[in-house]
Every structure is written in structure tokens, then in C-alpha cells.
Amino acid sequence: MTQTTGRIFDDFAKLMNDAAGVATGVRREAEGVMRAQAERILRELDVVTREEFETVKELAAAAREENERLAARLAALEAKLEATIDPPDSLG
């Protein structure tokens, strides 16, 4: 009876081990399907990737800095032009 009981437990343990392996495979397959579905949905929604977002963010910051630099240069040129066109009245 002891050998039979031990064999039953061994068979049961093997069955549970196999079931755990199958469950792991099913989980991986489900994750793969869900990931593919999510990627397809995001592509259809035309969502940008993080890399694309960061690139555009950097371009916008550079454009903003250039705009500020050009605005300062324009203000200086306008002040210089104003001084040339309408010189201060030094005769008093």
C-alpha cells in the first residue's frame, strides 16, 4: 500500500507540475496577444512614441530660445534705428 500511495503522490505532483507549465505558457501567450492588440490600437490612434515626443520637445525648446534671441536682437536694432532717425536734441 505504501508504494501505491507514494506512486499516486508522485503522479499527482507530476500532473500539477505539468499543469503549472501549461498555465505559464497560456499566460505568456495571453500577454503576447494583449501586447499586440494594445500596439495595434495605439498605432490606429496615431499616438506618438516617447522618443518622438522627446525629440519634438527638444526642437520646441531650441526654437523658443532662438525666438528669444532674435527678439532681443530685433529690440536692439530697433533702438539703434530709433536713435539714428531721431537723434537727441543736443542744442537744447
Rounded Cα distance between 58 and 66, Å, is 12
What are the sequence ranges of the domains in the chain?
1-47, 48-86
Render pLDDT for 33-86 as a digit per residue (tens, 0 to 9): 999 999 899 888 988 889 999 999 999 999 999 999 999 999 999 999 998 887
* pTM score above 0.75: no
Distances (CA, A) of 75 to 61, 68, 69, 71, 80: 21, 11, 10, 6, 9
Read off the DSSP letter of residue 92.
-
| 81, 83, 85, 88: CA torsion to nearest 10 | 180
